[in-house]
Structure 1
């Protein structure tokens, strides 16, 4: 990432707890877990956009 933008994000408590547990299991920060998952989805969506 060349440039980072700070945002405020509101999550349902159960989603936050799940993401925090996933991050802990992967030994990542909550922020890193969210970025990892968003980037993974973006790559998947990009591949879908390229298929006929």
Structure 2
């Protein structure tokens, strides 16, 4: 097995980070939508102290 060059390792790391961040973003927005659907009041409204 020949050595993998550093540039390719960096590209793979960036690609994986991008994929994970996109998946996390999609999961996060779905969770927020579910929370908004469950809550009677929208979460985006600021709560008065």
What's the TM-score, normalizing by structure 1? 0.46
Larger Rg belongs to: 2
What's the TM-score, normalizing by structure 2? 0.49
Which one scores higher on RCO, CA 8 angstroms, separation ≥ 6?
A: 1
